[in-house]
Amino acid sequence: MGTRRIKFDLLIHDLKTPLAVIEAGITSLIERSEKYGPLTEKQKKVLKRALRNTKVTQTLVNDAMEIGRSSEGIIHTHRFSLSDLIEQSLVELFDLTDYRASESVKECVNLTALKETLSERNIFLHVDENLWCQQVHLDEGKIRQVLRNLLTNALKYRKKLIEIKIESNDKSLSLSVKDDGDGIPAEYHQKIFECYFQMDAERNHCVRGHGLG
């Protein structure tokens, strides 16, 4: 690992602590009115916006760390439940785009409730109950990053619907995200895997991104 890579990793790592402190402070102001005093609706709105943007920054920092690890061929695998993976990815997604949806996902007590919450937003989850409860052995951070990026792009480009489908056989697990948008032109199919690549501004005039998906 080169000196520049080490310095970059240290910088990214050092950003995590102050961001966590900011998030905790804002959350306390919003949720602990008995200690800090009541807030007006305008104050709550401003604080919730600050909290969402703090989470955006945290996500970018975590993505940068994962990109660095991927470039070095570093993986960290462990066992975790498929349900935790999907639910956490959805919470991270909605934290950045729809705070109320994020809270609704957190309140879901089972798969049926989650499917209903998502369907209200025209997102349809297709997965068998038995598979939903299974444990998988993967690099959770990387898989969650990939899934969140797929869902983020689907939200940006869909016309109305998004489908999340999870299937398995004896040897593999398949997870797909599909939207009803126009799709990616054939000439971009290989380029989309390049860092910082984004499609032509004319095709992408209403969608912003940093090209690290």
CB 124, CB 164: distance < 8 Å: yes
Residues of the chain with pLDDT under 70: 1-6, 8, 70-71, 193-213
C-alpha of 208 from chain center:
16
- CA nearest to 145, candidates 58, 78, 207: 58
**Burial of residue 172 (number of CB atoms within 10 Å: 0-12, 13-18, 19+):** exposed
CA distances to 43, 78, 192, 210 from 201, in Å: 36, 40, 14, 13
Question: Domain ranges in the chain?
Answer: 3-71, 78-181, 182-213
For residue 118, the cross-strand partners are none
CB 136, CB 97: distance < 8 Å: no
pLDDT of residue 139: 87
Cα separation, 79 vs 107, whole angstroms: 24
pLDDT of residue 95: 80
Query: Which long-range contacts does 21-30 make (Cβ < 8 Å, 24+ apart)?
Result: 22/54, 23/51, 23/54, 23/55, 23/58, 26/50, 26/51, 26/54, 27/51
pTM to 2 decimals? 0.70
pLDDT in tens, 50-65: 988 898 788 888 877 7
pLDDT of residue 38: 92
**Burial of residue 160 (number of CB atoms within 10 Å: 0-12, 13-18, 19+):** exposed
pLDDT of residue 206: 42
pLDDT of residue 210: 47
Please name the fold of domain 78-181: Heat Shock Protein 90 (3.30.565)
Residue 143 identity: I
Question: Beta strand pairing status for 78-81 and 135-138?
Answer: antiparallel
pLDDT of residue 131: 93
pLDDT of residue 202: 43
